[in-house]
Structure 1
Amino acid sequence: MANQMTEMLKGTLEGIVLAIVAARPAYGYEITVRLREQLGFADIAEGTVYALLVRIEQRGFVDVEKVPSEKGPPRKVYSLNSAGRDQLGEFWRTWSFLAERIEQLHQGEN
Structure 2
Amino acid sequence: MAAESDALLTQLRKGVLEYCVLACLRKDRAYGLELATRLSRYQVLFASEGTLYPLLSRMRRQGWVETSWQESTSGPPRRYYELTPQGRTALDLFTRAWEPFRQDVDTVLEESR
Q: TM-score, normalised by structure 1?
A: 0.86
Structure 1: 4+ residue segments shifted above 4 A:
none
User: Where in structure 2 are there 5+ consecutive unaligned residues?
Assistant: none
Tell me the equivalent position of 1:36. Answer: 40
User: Where in structure 1 are there 5+ consecutive unaligned residues?
Assistant: none
For residues 18-97 of structure 1, what are the structure 2 equivalents within 5 Å?
Answer: 18-37=22-41, 39-41=42-44, 44-69=47-72, 70-72=74-76, 74-97=77-100
C-alpha change, 1:96 and 1:42, in structure 2 (3 Å) is closer
* Higher mean C-alpha deviation, range 83-92 or range 95-104: 95-104
CA RMSD after TM alignment: 1.7
Provide, for residues 38-65 of structure 1, a one-character-per-residue CA deviation record: whole Å limited to 9, x for no partner. x234862212100010011111111212
Q: TM-score, normalised by structure 2?
A: 0.84
Identity over aligned pairs, percent: 31
CA distance in 1, matches of 2:103, 2:44: 23
Higher-strand-fraction structure: 2
Residue identity opposite 1:33 in structure 2 = T
Provide, for residues 44-102 of structure 1, a one-character-per-residue CA deviation record: whole Å limited to 9, x for no partner. 22121000100111111112121012312x21111112111100011112212310210
